[in-house]
Amino acid sequence: MSISIPSSAKPFLKWAGGKTQLIGEIEKRLPANFANGGYTYIEPFVGSGAVLFWMLSTYPNIKRAVINDVNEDLIGTYKAIAANAKELIGTLGAIQENYYSFGDNQQKKAEYYYKIRDDFNSRSKDKVTHAALFIFLNRTCFNGLYRVNRNNEFNVPMGAYKKPTICDSANIIAVSNILKKVDILCGDFEQTEQYASSESLFYFDPPYKPLNSTSSFNAYAKTDFNDHQQVRLKHFCSALDAKGYQWMLSNSDVRTSPNSSSFFDELYAQFNISRVKATRRINSNAQKRGELNELLITNY
Ligand SMILES: C[S@@+](CC[C@H](N)C(=O)[O-])C[C@H]1O[C@@H](n2cnc3c(N)ncnc32)[C@H](O)[C@@H]1O
């Protein structure tokens, strides 16, 4: 059964490492017969789903799609949108109205923000409310960052937006329609292998290896994605390759960093590595935002 999708769905969150600007380069490197249809598309590090939403609306003949992420709040939000979009819009719309009612009163806005942050961290609300709180925090916090402490408490301060869009109802409905046909998993990337079928494409967008110790931004979850994890991912990719599955993987080009390293060139030496230009979206130092190379690696 093919997936029929409205073309307007787009990411409903701001997310570090969002891949919107890399889509043209990803498209150029899809398997030759991908457009013919019949593929299972698997995204083990889905984040805000920039590639997923583009993929499903551009290739409606994808046979099946599977997404995964280790972040429980994120995946809970995908599930709430898939199953309870209208209820979610009701809750989020009311939160947006409250927030807008404070106008330019920064103190009132801050009180409201930190009250919602406390509610979110209490993790005592029902799943749909928790998802609405998550979207609110994402749209109004500093730079759309996601950062938690060791107790899994979200600790990002309020951002400086005047009137951010908090509840984009049309997009939430479009996303919900798409997600009805998608299997949504929460956990480690390795669990996705069991969902592969003969014609499968995996797209891996793991937390990037930092270019240097100060540019690090990969604190999406309680656990760090360190070099050991990068190597574990490579072993997983080799295992998929041996089974005949196709995959594409993106990562930072650490060879161009000040402390130049051939980490990925050595790790993925047996596969096809290309270097593409990309603009990093999240960097704590605005002056360091700029053009960098990123790696796109495929096994085909
Ligand atoms: C670079 S982001 C993906 C960005 C995504 N492509 C987008 O456009 O928004 C990496 C994601 O990997 C997730 N992650 C970290 N460790 C993981 C693991 N072991 N298994 C699965 N997902 C993991 C993070 O929660 C984060 O959402």
Q: 236: Cβ below 6 Å to ligand 1?
A: no
Q: 209: Cβ below 6 Å to ligand 1?
A: no
Residue 109 has pLDDT above 80, yes or no: yes
CA of 97 to the centre of ligand 1 (A): 31
Contact call for residues 221 and 71 (beta carbons, < 8 A):
yes
Residue 226 has pLDDT above 70, yes or no: yes
**Helix/strand/coil percentages in the chain, nearest 5:** 45, 15, 40
Report the pLDDT averaged over residues 146-154: 93
Contact call for residues 147 and 137 (beta carbons, < 8 A):
no
- Candidate from 66-75, 87-96, 211-220 with smallest mean pLDDT: 211-220
One DSSP character per residue, 232-251 reads: HHHHHHHHHHHTT-EEEEEE
For ligand 1, atom 4: residue with the closest CA: 47
User: Which DSSP state fits 110?
Assistant: H
Residue 201 has pLDDT above 60, yes or no: yes
- Please give the CATH architecture assigned to the domain spanning 20-69+187-215+227-298: 3-Layer(aba) Sandwich (3.40)
Pocket test for ligand 1, best of 67, 69, 230 (most atoms within 8 A of CB): 69
pLDDT digits (tens, 9 = 90+) for 240-280: 999 999 999 999 898 866 666 899 999 999 999 999 987 65
CA of 48 to the centre of ligand 1 (A): 9
Report the pLDDT averaged over residues 27-34: 97
CA 273 – CA 276 distance, rounded (Å): 10
Sheet containing strand 200-204, strands side by side:
182-186, 64-69, 40-43, 200-204, 246-252, 291-298, 272-279
Residue 124 has pLDDT above 80, yes or no: yes
pLDDT (0 to 100) of residue 95: 98
CA 47 to chain centre: 1
pLDDT digits (tens, 9 = 90+) for 283-293: 445 445 556 78
For ligand 1, atom 23: residue with the closest CA: 70
pLDDT band of residue 224 (cuts 50, 70, 90) is: confident
Could you give the C-alpha distances from 189 to 15, 43, 73, 148, in angstroms and in order? 18, 9, 16, 20
Q: 249: Cβ below 6 Å to ligand 1?
A: no
pLDDT band of residue 4 (cuts 50, 70, 90) is: very low
> How many CB atoms are closer than 10 A to CB 143?
15
Please identify, by atom number, the ligand 1 atom nearest to the C-alpha of residue 206: 10
pLDDT band of residue 223 (cuts 50, 70, 90) is: low
What's the whole-number average pLDDT of the chain?
90
Hey, what's the torsion of the CAs at 182, 188, 190, 193, to 10 degrees? -20
CATH 1.10.1020.10 correct for 74-170? yes
Q: 221: Cβ below 6 Å to ligand 1?
A: yes
Q: 129: Cβ below 6 Å to ligand 1?
A: no
Pocket test for ligand 1, best of 145, 220, 233 (most atoms within 8 A of CB): 220
Please identify, by atom number, the ligand 1 atom nearest to the C-alpha of residue 17: 1
Report the pLDDT averaged over residues 160-181: 95
Q: What are the two backbone dihedrals, phi and then psi, of residue 213, each rounded to the nearest 5 degrees?
A: -65, -25
CA of 138 to the centre of ligand 1 (A): 16
CA 75 – CA 92 distance, rounded (Å): 17
For ligand 1, atom 12: residue with the closest CA: 45
Where are the domains positioned within the chain? 20-69+187-215+227-298, 74-170
pLDDT (0 to 100) of residue 213: 55
- Residue located via tokens 């700029």: 290
CA 30 – CA 86 distance, rounded (Å): 35
- Candidate from 55-64, 70-79, 253-262, 264-273 with smallest mean pLDDT: 253-262
Report the pLDDT averaged over residues 16-31: 90
Taking the whole predicted model, whether its pTM rises above 0.95 is answered as no
CA of 109 to the centre of ligand 1 (A): 30
- Candidate from 90-104, 162-176, 204-218, 240-254 with smallest mean pLDDT: 204-218
Q: Is the dihedral of CA 116, 117, 121, 122 positive or negative?
A: negative
| H, E, C per residue of 157-176 | CECCCCCCCCCCHHHHHHHH
Spatial CA neighbour of 30 closest among 62, 67, 68: 62
CA 64 – CA 56 distance, rounded (Å): 10
